Amino acid sequence: MIKRLIIAFVLLVLICGGIVGFNIFRDNAISQFFANMPVNQLTVSTAKVEPAPWTPGIEAIGTVAASRGVALTVETTGIIKELLFSANQHVERGQLLVRLDDAVEQADLAASKTQAALDQQALDRAVELQRRGVGSDATLDTARAAASTSKSQVVKLQALADQKLLNAPFSGTLGIPRIEQGQYIAPGTIVATLQDLDTMRADFTVPEQQLNSLKIGQPVAFGRTTNDLTFRGKITGIDPKVDPASRLVSVRADVSNPDGQLSPGQFLQVRVELPKEDGVIAIPQTALTTSLYGDFVYVVRPAKQAEAPAQAPAPTDAKSAEAKPEAAKPAEQAAPKADGPSLAAYQVFVKAGRRFAGMVEITEGVAGGDEVVTAGQNRLSNGAPVKVDNTVDLSKPQGAAK
């Protein structure tokens, strides 16, 4: 009986030992297989970080209006006799645009001018008779009063006749006519709009904190997009009062519009330029990645530097340090083998600052001479082997890269 128990125990030990040995052998085989697998290098595009001049600015959205713009109307009623302009026509100051039927006014004016001429002749005769001593003072005074009244009547009728004419108050471009020839119109009827498009003005608002950075004559750049600020101007007015509801300050700037590319009422991106700064570290915005734990970039370095991977900045408090998972920290990796990849990408947490024209200022984390990944970083992990290929910009569509 004892012999059978001993044999059963030995068999059980052999079976358990075989199972354990097989598992150890399998794990070692799998480890050696993955250790000897060729490392796949990910292709990325990079940009070298260099200190460069930076022109800071205050960005806003503005509304464009003509420096001078009016809705043209007539002063009196009448039927349109002549319509002397067309849409989008450039007119000069004083140019006749509309003539109303003024036959009655012209007839009255002609009669008044004739009467004024007769009264002037009577005055001349009365003066001559008075000079010869045969005319009375009463006759002379009556003649003078009649001549003055006739002249005043001529001026009055001439003004009434001029009200039948609509002239351009200043040089500019006319809009679409809103009347037709032969139409009866009343005072206040809008004939067309007249806009002086040579010089435009842009109204925009900035936060009250930036009020001290503004001054009259400061250069301003305008454009339809932030990356296309092709129009130039300068600040001509700053509202001295801050809006208590929005805490914004109204600003006005004049912008030259020689080719007429800007239209009144159009929205524009506005950038008030501040004094230039030298030695600013800036990288393409495509290189910056945002996560729950901060902004970071991938820096390409020789793989031998893997012994000292970049670490994320320390959390501000103990609670956030405990809440941050280990996966968010750069992984600790050993130095690569001699036959491993020559370049690797390492995660570096940075502090981002101002942004403009596709670039972002970096105040902490990278320095001049570093090479940051600008495209392909969505496939990377900390310490991943990479191959740099800058022949094609992967951040742009394939058609745009040609």
Could you tell me the domains of the chain? 38-54+279-388 (2.40.420.20), 57-67+196-276 (2.40.30.170), 102-163 (1.10.287)
pLDDT surpasses 70 at 149 = yes
Q: How confident is the model at residue 168 (pLDDT cuts 50, 70, 90)?
A: very high
Q: Measured between alpha carbons, how far is 49 from 37 in angstroms, rounded to an integer?
A: 34
pLDDT in tens, 338-348: 344 588 888 88
Q: What is the pLDDT of residue 330?
A: 39
Q: What is the pLDDT of residue 263?
A: 85
Q: Which residues pair with 206 in a beta bridge?
A: 249
Q: Say which residues have a Cβ less than 8 Å from residue 321's Cβ, sequence separation at least 6.
A: 314, 315
Q: Measured between alpha carbons, how far is 377 from 297 in angstroms, rounded to an integer?
A: 8
pLDDT in tens, 79-116: 999 899 999 898 999 999 999 988 888 898 899 889 88
Q: What is the pLDDT of residue 336?
A: 42
Q: What is the pLDDT of residue 37?
A: 61
pLDDT surpasses 70 at 302 = yes
206, two tokens: 């900035």
Q: Measured between alpha carbons, how far is 14 from 20 in angstroms, rounded to an integer?
A: 10
- What are the start-end ranges of the E strands in 190-230? 190-207, 219-223
Q: Measured between alpha carbons, how far is 17 from 24 in angstroms, rounded to an integer?
A: 11
Q: How confident is the model at residue 315 (pLDDT cuts 50, 70, 90)?
A: very low
Instruction: Answer whether 0.75 is exceeded by the pTM.
Output: no
389, two tokens: 């290929």
327, two tokens: 């996966």
Mean pLDDT, rounded, for 184-197: 90
Mean pLDDT, rounded, for 302-319: 49
Least confident of 23-27, 184-188, 334-338, 359-363: 334-338
Q: Say which residues have a Cβ less than 8 Å from residue 336's Cβ, sequence separation at least 6.
A: 303, 304, 306, 344
Q: What is the pLDDT of residue 392?
A: 64
Across the chain, how many H-helices and E-strands are there? 4, 21
CA count, 13 A, side-chain hemisphere, 8: 5
Q: How confident is the model at residue 72 (pLDDT cuts 50, 70, 90)?
A: very high
